[in-house]
Structure 1
């Protein structure tokens, strides 16, 4: 009997680190808002009501496995969950990848945010709300793509990333090369300063000329305040050739007490379409931090687009939100 107990103890001791190493981390976020929504197009009110909405609520699993010699296997699978839709329609894919990690950086394969998207850093103070950066214009660069081969590296205060995305097409209606789209970024971060430059390049996948989008963004922290600036210009993809957009944005956040912060953001967008468009997206809000993983907010946002015709847009939101992480 003693021999059996000793054998079980030894086996348990050997298996414990293996089980701990293989155990994945389950995580998630619930983000809900309730407020007044008014939408107007061409002088006609299309929406005027109160809405309870989910904003990129998600659940995911991630982990890594030690392969020895400083090399690890990594994985992450994340789903967006929308409580307003039942069945399979309530789930949508977010980042889903596997890869390798070492002292030289990381290589990731799968569905992934582009380096240009990631380059925004902490600029966007209203992410996943009606005032999210991506809602300011058409060429937003906020892309999460399939078939991505990405490399992320770091040297001192400099971070860099590049993603190659094959079109996986027949060469006639879609690209057939090893990298029909390329996204790359380089960022410098030192204490309160963050500066990043990113570029997306899109190959001729629909019989149109190559297009590209360039982003320059920076944030600077001064005590309890943070100021952010963003500029970007270009065309996001081949299907929108000749529709360049120029963006200019500023964001601001400051603590007003131990648990409360005030924030504001303003983004201007101009394009050169046949009917030129000028748009602005502005927002102000107050955040309250209940604890490390729970926060609430009050906010107001307004999106205006002037096209010089009857399709002018004027959308507003005023309400409150709750964010819980686990």
Structure 2
């Protein structure tokens, strides 16, 4: 097995870009966004494409975005509170080694996609989204699609449900979420959230089942806004493989020096059982002289303690 202790300087989700809109008619605007991720620590390529789209928004017909869009699964993802290294739901690859997936499948940005957001109607507290992606955006030559609906009437609780096919995985995902802001009902500045998801992978015998439970509490005894949070993730049958399971627990906090300058601190551990990994045998092919790799199964543990500073501009 692989074992490593290291100190890293990382740039999590740093990005730069531009977005805006311009009126076409009294009821229709053109909208655009060009966003690139950047690694300020220099570990990765200077720029990587993120959300990039051109679209229109109309008061009667809603909003259409065409380009590279975050999938409709993300439209109901208001449960995850983790930050920094742990700011992910799944498909986490430990950069240098070992684990292919530590958590359930998550929403990703989908190439060659169109996403529609329904207009909001007075008295109907629903956000409805639908998405289509062409068959060149996934690995099975099937066009993908997804739908999502979030109920939020501004009274302190939300509920969401989403369906995704051949977009984030080769297969189907069903996700449900719920949150409640206890501060709306009692003297407790706590927000609770839960997410449950089932992923049906093509060619696999087992469904991947994932659960996320989170809590975040605002702190009122500081000069500026601050909060602490905790989140638990549990996934059974990672990537559809039987008895490949993981558990993750993270605690952390954040402090707002200003609205756009935020300090973060967090600690977490992820344990995964029976995961597949690839390793170098130390031998070479006698004909090609290339290294020979082998695969095996084993347990993996990732422990991360981190701190950082976030600047929004």
TM over 0.5, shorter chain? yes
Alignment of 1:166-315 (within 5 A): 166-168=134-136, 174-175=140-141, 180-191=143-154, 192-202=156-166, 211-223=171-183, 224-235=189-200, 238=202, 241-257=204-220, 258=222, 259-271=225-237, 273=240, 275-307=242-274, 311-315=298-302
Structure 1: 4+ residue segments shifted above 3 A: 84-87, 135-139, 240-243, 272-275
TM-score normalised to structure 1 length: 0.76
TM-score normalised to structure 2 length: 0.79
Aligned to 2:5: 48
1:41-68 deviations in Å (ceiling 9; x for gaps):
x4x41x2011111001000100101111
Higher-helix-fraction structure = 1
Aligned to 1:141: 106
Distance in 2 between the 1:131 and 1:99 partners? Answer: 28
Whether the 8 Å contact between 1:65 and 1:73 is mirrored in structure 2 is yes
Deviation at 1:268, TM superposition (A): 0.4
Aligned to 1:318: 305
Distance in 2 between the 1:310 and 1:74 partners? Answer: 48
1:237-265 deviations in Å (ceiling 9; x for gaps):
64x64452101110000012242211000
Task: Classify 1:161/1:86 alpha carbon distance in 2 versus 1 (closer, same or farther; 3 Å).
Answer: same
Question: What RMSD, in angstroms, separates the aligned Cα atoms of the two structures?
Answer: 2.5
Q: Which runs of 5+ in 1 are unaligned?
A: 1-41
Alignment match of 2:57 (pick from 92, 95, 101):
101
Q: Which runs of 5+ in 2 are unaligned?
A: 93-100, 184-188, 276-295
Distance in 2 between the 1:260 and 1:138 partners? Answer: 28
Deviation at 1:126, TM superposition (A): 1.1
- The structure whose RCO (Cα within 8 Å, separation 6+) is larger is 1
Aligned to 2:280: none
Deviation at 1:216, TM superposition (A): 0.2
Distance in 2 between the 1:265 and 1:97 partners? Answer: 32
Alignment of 1:51-66 (within 5 A): 51-66=8-23
Deviation at 1:166, TM superposition (A): 1.0
Distance in 2 between the 1:317 and 1:86 partners? Answer: 18
Which of 270-279 and 111-120 deviates more?
270-279
Task: Classify 1:290/1:274 alpha carbon distance in 2 versus 1 (closer, same or farther; 3 Å).
Answer: closer
Distance in 2 between the 1:85 and 1:298 partners? Answer: 22
SS in structure 1 at match of 2:73: helix
Alignment of 1:20-169 (within 5 A): 42=1, 44-45=2-3, 47-85=4-42, 89-103=45-59, 104-121=61-78, 123-134=79-90, 135=92, 137=102, 139-153=104-118, 154-155=120-121, 156-168=124-136
